[in-house]
């Protein structure tokens, strides 16, 4: 199977077929162009209609967080969609990179409001910093549910206390309860605040944005901006440890929801041979009380790929015989699973994203040192007399 086998007309949700140099819906006959090898699965799509707020950064790695854990847990015949991938350079044959903008690093141009995949065709969908930019996020959540196989997974992040940023628009921010409502049809597996969404990021973003747009016109206002800048020089991320999961969500920059599509209550995309062995081995049931929960680096699927393959011939046979999903429509492309060779991942609860800081100096000392250095630099530039004259002028203006 490749990408074309699971794509669907975003209007009628029927499969498509390759006709000359475009894709055509089998049912309604709508046509979708292929540009530079990338299917454009949006009606009336115009490249100039979609503009990022700033130039996209080319990324070559996924965060060592829940979405990467699940990707590395799944098998080679399971399909992942990175919805809103932007400029993700890392190219894995099982991970379909989708964005509304055509970049050199997307596999399909599509919109979550009209998800261009067949019903029950995808194993895992994740959307990072996407839902705040959607006009109708509830429809997007329903579309993800439709496209996922029973037992499939969704992982979504959304801004909460975060400044406006357009891509190309910014519609909704969501609390944890808001995300729970968005994905109410899913079985909830985990919700919370990721390490890179903690309150320090809120302060950095909101104060930094405020400072960027605040135009000081007198000495008092300059002092105010100076104070804001001083606050932003503190190693704020060191103080995230002051917040627990019960308090961080109240002022978090963002939050996340992970869930599973469970129309029958016991659906799973874990291969039957692994589930069968799990059901017969009490030690596995003790080790993995919730077998479908893949948010830990040590889960039933990572066990099956390592210990399980060595202990049980049936599992080894399954992995050796499965037919992989390869998204590439060009058979000459390499099918190497690049996502599988990323570094080991810490358990989510053990991860800390602490940045900045040099040595053990008290934050106030570092701030005063920084301000003193700026003062000396100013005096060197203008001379002591010039600096005093400028200060007196500002003082008189303020009066």
**pLDDT at position 14 over 90:** yes
Three-class secondary structure of residue 274 per DSSP: helix
pLDDT score, position 330? 83
Q: Kindly give the interhelix angle for 363-382 and 219-232, rounded to the nearest 10 degrees.
A: 140
**pLDDT at position 211 over 70:** yes
With beta carbons less than 8 A apart as the criterion, state whether 156 and 126 touch. yes
**pLDDT at position 357 over 70:** no
Percent pLDDT > 90 in the chain is 59
pLDDT score, position 340? 62
Site of tokens 């705040």:
132
With beta carbons less than 8 A apart as the criterion, state whether 370 and 233 touch. yes
**Residue range 18-29, pLDDT digits in tens:** 999 999 999 999
Comparison of pLDDT for 117 and 361, the residue scoring more: 117
H or E element: which one contains 368? helix 363-382
Mean pLDDT throughout 119-142?
96
Q: Enter the CATH code of domain 3-198+243-269+326-350.
A: 3.40.50.150
**pLDDT band, very low/low/confident/very high, at 235 (cuts 50, 70, 90):** confident
What are the Cα distances from residue 203, in Å, to 133, 198, 227, 242? 21, 9, 14, 14
With beta carbons less than 8 A apart as the criterion, state whether 140 and 131 touch. yes
**pLDDT band, very low/low/confident/very high, at 171 (cuts 50, 70, 90):** very high
**pLDDT band, very low/low/confident/very high, at 113 (cuts 50, 70, 90):** very high
**pLDDT at position 49 over 60:** no
**pLDDT band, very low/low/confident/very high, at 355 (cuts 50, 70, 90):** very low
What are the Cα distances from residue 252, in Å, to 126, 160, 265? 20, 6, 32
**Residue range 133-143, pLDDT digits in tens:** 999 999 999 99
Q: Are strands 122-127 and 148-159 parallel, antiparallel or unpaired?
A: parallel
Mean pLDDT throughout 266-278?
97
d(CA 45, CA 48): 9
In the chain, domain spans:
3-198+243-269+326-350
Mean pLDDT throughout 54-68?
65
pLDDT score, position 339? 64
E strand intervals along 236-335: 254-260
Mean pLDDT throughout 392-396?
67
Say whether pTM exceeds 0.95: no
With beta carbons less than 8 A apart as the criterion, state whether 204 and 196 touch. no
**pLDDT at position 5 over 90:** yes
């Amino acid at each position: 199977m490749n990408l074309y086998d699971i794509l669907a007309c975003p209007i009628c949700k029927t499969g498509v077929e390759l006709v000359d140099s475009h894709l055509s819906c089998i049912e309604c006959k709508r046509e979708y162009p292929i540009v530079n090898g990338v299917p454009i699965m949006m009606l009336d799509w115009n490249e100039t209609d979609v503009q990022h707020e700033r130039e996209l950064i080319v990324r070559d790695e996924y965060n060592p967080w829940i979405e990467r854990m699940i990707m590395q847990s799944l098998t080679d015949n399971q399909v992942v969609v990175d919805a809103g991938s932007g400029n993700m350079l890392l190219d894995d044959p099982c991970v379909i990179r989708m964005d509304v903008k055509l970049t050199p690093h997307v596999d399909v141009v599509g919109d979550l409001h009209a998800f261009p995949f067949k019903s029950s065709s995808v194993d895992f969908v994740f959307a990072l910093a996407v839902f705040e930019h959607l006009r109708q996020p509830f429809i997007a959540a329903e579309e993800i549910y439709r496209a996922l196989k029973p037992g499939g997974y969704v992982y979504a992040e959304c801004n909460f206390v975060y400044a406006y940023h357009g891509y190309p628009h910014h519609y909704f921010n969501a609390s944890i309860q808001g995300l729970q409502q968005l994905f109410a049809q899913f079985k909830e597996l985990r919700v919370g605040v990721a390490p890179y969404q903690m309150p320090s990021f809120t302060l950095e973003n909101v104060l930094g944005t405020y400072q960027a747009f605040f135009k000081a016109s007198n000495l008092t206002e300059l002092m105010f901006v100076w104070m804001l800048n001083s606050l932003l020089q503190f190693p704020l991320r060191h103080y995230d440890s002051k917040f627990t999961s019960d308090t961080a969500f109240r002022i978090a920059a963002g939050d996340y929801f992970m869930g599973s599509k469970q129309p029958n209550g016991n659906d799973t995309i874990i291969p039957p041979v692994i589930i069968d062995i799990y059901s017969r081995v009490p030690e596995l049931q003790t080790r993995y009380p919730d077998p479908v929960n893949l948010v830990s680096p040590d889960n039933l699927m990572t066990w099956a790929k390592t210990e399980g393959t060595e202990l049980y011939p049936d599992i080894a046979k399954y992995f050796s015989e499965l037919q992989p999903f390869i998204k590439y429509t060009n058979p000459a492309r390499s099918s190497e699973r690049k996502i599988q060779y990323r570094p080991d991942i810490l358990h989510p609860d053990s991860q800390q994203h602490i940045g900045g800081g040099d040595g053990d100096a008290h934050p106030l000392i570092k701030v005063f040192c920084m301000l003193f250095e700026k003062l000396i630099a100013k005096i060197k530039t203008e001379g002591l007399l010039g600096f005093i004259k400028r200060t007196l002028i500002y003082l008189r203006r303020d009066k």
